[in-house]
A = this chain, B = another copy of it.
Amino acid sequence: MGGQINNLAPRQRRVTISDVSEALGLTKGTVSRALNGYPDISETTRLKVARTAERMGYRPLAHAQAIRTGRVRSVGLVFQFYEHDGHRPFLADFLTGISGAASAEGWTLTLATASSQDEMLATLDRLVDERKVDGFILPRTYRDDPRIETLRRAGVPFVLFGRTGDDTGCAWFDIAGEAAMANAVARLAALGHTRIGFVQGGEGANYAHLRLDGYIAGMQAAGLAIDDDLIAPPSLNPIEGCDAGRRLLSLTEPPTAIVCAVDQAALGLYDAARERGLAIGREVSVISYDGIPEGRFVDPPLSTFAVDNRAAGERLTQMLIERVRGTDPHALRDLADASFLDRGSHGPPVLSSAQLARRVRASSIM
């Protein structure tokens, strides 16, 4: 093979560790040990080496080091995109965070996608087997997540974005969605709402359980009764959200406020309310979660708990790098709060549940 015409300018030679060692009159082994902080190098030569390496613009080649050390300085990320995908808007911010934090440490991001769970596991294996990455960030965790067992067995470091059922030996970072949901309920209760509905998030995903728990905890803390009818099934997009809204609003005792686990679904609540001639933020209050950009432009602007995906990406890669360097996973766990965006989609109830029910009936007769 080799030797085809490539008509590309020849790349200039890099400065290698041998160049540095020759310039110093040392062996490359000594230079290497000096640069890597071995204890058997005197402080004087360590400094001399560091300075001339710096001056000559020497930077070790990650993949040349890797052949001996096994580390390539790359964080792995494998996405599984679904048909109607709620986390697409998150992507750009999340990737920016990871890439930024990685390059600050001289690392890079290796990204792959999978279309099924089997392919996901195979891809993880392949990246590990080919030593393309030193570890993984696992986004969107599940209660029972097969990726974890796979990587545990393979002995590969990883950090979860989200919590999971059994997290022994797992490092993780998460946003306290349950606290946000409880806080949403508390805010609405404080405004005078007593019938507060909930629209669930994606089935199976760990966050969905937590946010539901948060809603329930919030209701209990406010001394409100939990009615199963008030809890709508998982909704991940405006269509499903609209269905959920219709269902909640047609209850004999409809909620005057709705807490929604996912912004995309909350957008659908606007449609459901509009159908019934109800004004969001007055006749029906909504507080949601995610902080998607569209929420700012709808009318009224959506009150929601925003998560900083860029910061999450940064934190996760920092944790992963520490993990690869040997930090105990149990010491690498962190929970951050979502920040409430107090906008126009919630307020004190202007109608009682009974009045609201009459309004809904009237609108559906027309």
Contact = CB atoms under 8 A, between A and B. Distances in A.
Contacts of A155: 8-11
A100 B326 CA distance: 32
A8 B157 contact: yes
A130 interface: yes
Contacts of A93: 81
B326 A129 contact: no
Contacts of A297: 238-239
Interface stretch (A104-112, A196-204, A243-251, A342-350): A104-112
A45 interface: no
Interface string A1-43: 1001111111100100000000000000000000011100000
A299 to B, nearest CB: 10
Contacts of A6: 157, 326
A103 B123 contact: yes
A154 B9 CA distance: 7
A327 B8 CA distance: 11
Nearest to A152: B9
A182 B66 CA distance: 53
A365 interface: no
A72 B67 CA distance: 13
A366 interface: no
A95 interface: yes
A14 B325 CA distance: 22
A326 B123 CA distance: 28
Nearest to A63: B63
A113 interface: yes
A72 B99 CA distance: 19
A9 B150 CA distance: 12
A99 B126 contact: no
A328 B8 contact: no
A84 to B, nearest CB: 8
B113 A111 contact: no
Contact of A14 (B37, B88, B129, B328): B129
10 contacts: A6-B157, A6-B326, A8-B155, A11-B156, A59-B129, A64-B67, A79-B92, A95-B111, A99-B111, A99-B112
List the 7 closest pairs (A to B, CB-CB), nearest first.
A4-B326, A63-B63, A9-B155, A8-B155, A99-B113, A96-B113, A81-B92
Interface of A: 1, 4-11, 14, 36-38, 59, 61-64, 66-67, 70, 72, 74, 79, 81, 84-85, 88-89, 91-93, 95-96, 99-100, 103, 108-113, 115, 123, 126-132, 152-157, 169, 238-239, 293, 297, 325-329
Given A61-B67, A108-B112, 11 more contacts: A7-B169, A8-B155, A9-B152, A11-B70, A14-B129, A79-B95, A81-B93, A88-B89, A88-B91, A111-B111, A238-B297
